[in-house]
Amino acid sequence: MESNSGRNGANQPEYGNESVKTGAPASTPIPSRAPGRKPDFNTLTKKLPEWILLEKLCDDLASFGTIHHLGTSFDSEYEFPLMGLSFGSKDPQAPTLGLFGGVHGLERIGAQVVLALLKSFSELILWDKMIQHALSQVRICFFPMVNPIGVLRQSRANPQGVDLMRNAPNHSSEKPTFLVGGQKISNRLPWFRGNIHNSLESESQALLDFCEQMFFQSRAAVTMDFHSGFGIMDRIWLPYAKSTAPFPHLAEAYAFKESFDRTYPNHIYKIEPQAKNYTTDGDLWDYAYDQFYARPKNKDSVYLPLCLEMGSWMWVKKNPLQLFSTLGPFNPLKPHRQKRILRRHIPLFDFLIRSVVSPEAWILKNPEQRAKFQMRALEHWYGKSS
Ligand SMILES: [Zn+2]
């Protein structure tokens, strides 16, 4: 569902007016339908100030793009609409960039970074002729808080205890990493997959619906999903999560990496296949990628689903006491450090926009050129010479 709201918010999306398709796990009773209650302003200020910013940005940006009401997330106490924003070309084939955050509620820095980038974008769209011109050719979309109640309740999972990044109905052909790779035992344990045979969780469905609406007909698309909690450096992860085997667009991913390395030689990211670290079942981005290529018309299009895994261990190293708080292992807690993280990814955002405006830099049309990049990619990431 879409709605355009005015700057004064008079027509903002209403709360609690959508049916929810949740696949709640068998081990937990489905919470009774919530009364459609949004937390009051004081609660939001204390527990979810990111939501206040998101609503303000939706209001400010409504006349420049489209606000999408993608579904509803609820528990027994609260209910939130799932909100996406899109800007630019209405051509279904237009190259598209998508930024996603807050899939894992505990990793709230992910939602905060996407909101900070959206805030900068909300200013650029007012005066920057380069951005305005780019938007005549491409689409840029944001889904900053996929799991708002998870962020509010400081929980990795959604309100039904499901890890959204284990919730897709796809399976690894290999044995995924024990527990971390997704488990069906109980929603009281982390990495619970949910009832994948019934229907997706509303937040997962919203994410996939948004992808389908935004870029499933695009000739070039890049998505970046912002997470935190792994390692001491910022990593950009390539598919697959489900397999240690190279994914089909490894050559394009390597061309993308080389373009980034050449353009920003001092960038801070380690770019690598996720499965170099661990494998999982049910990854939503693996599923989106496979769904994209299940469409025969997309065989010559390129879609790169990327995840940014911010290296939270460096924040813990600088402030070990934060290990004793719930958010500590996943987020920068000192205000100056948080500010640093919020500005740290601006060059990446800049590069991502340019890479969808000029996808010729990494889309490999020539078979010989593609074979060359494939060989370099295999050598670089898999230590293979052919
Ligand atoms: Zn995460």
Domain annotation for the chain: domains and CATH numbers: 2-7+42-382 (3.40.630.10)
CB neighbours (10 Å) of residue 232? 12
CB neighbours (10 Å) of residue 9? 13
What's the CA-to-centroid distance between 238 and ligand 1, angstroms?
14
The predicted pLDDT at position 232 comes to 82
What's the CA-to-centroid distance between 228 and ligand 1, angstroms?
6
What's the CA-to-centroid distance between 312 and ligand 1, angstroms?
11
What's the CA-to-centroid distance between 156 and ligand 1, angstroms?
8
Has residue 79 got a pLDDT over 60? yes
What's the CA-to-centroid distance between 51 and ligand 1, angstroms?
19
C-alpha 113/C-alpha 259 separation (Å) is 23
The predicted pLDDT at position 192 comes to 92
Confidence of residue 16 (pLDDT cuts 50, 70, 90): very low
By 3-state DSSP, what share of the chain in percent is helix, strand and coil, each rounded to 5? 40, 15, 45
Tokens describing residue 136: 């005549």
Has residue 212 got a pLDDT over 50? yes
Mean pLDDT of 299-316: 88
Query: Average pLDDT of the chain?
Result: 87
Confidence of residue 296 (pLDDT cuts 50, 70, 90): very high
Spell out the alpha helix ranges (H) of the chain. Answer: 41-47, 49-61, 108-127, 129-134, 148-152, 202-215, 250-263, 284-293, 313-318, 335-344, 346-357, 367-382
Has residue 177 got a pLDDT over 70? yes
Mean pLDDT of 201-220: 98
What's the CA-to-centroid distance between 248 and ligand 1, angstroms?
24
What's the CA-to-centroid distance between 73 and ligand 1, angstroms?
18
Q: Pick the residue with more confidence: 326 or 204?
A: 204
Has residue 350 got a pLDDT over 90? yes
| Cβ atoms of residues 2 and 67 within 8 Å | yes
The predicted pLDDT at position 35 comes to 53
What's the CA-to-centroid distance between 356 and ligand 1, angstroms?
25
The predicted pLDDT at position 38 comes to 83
- Kind of pairing between the strands at 66-74 and 79-88: antiparallel
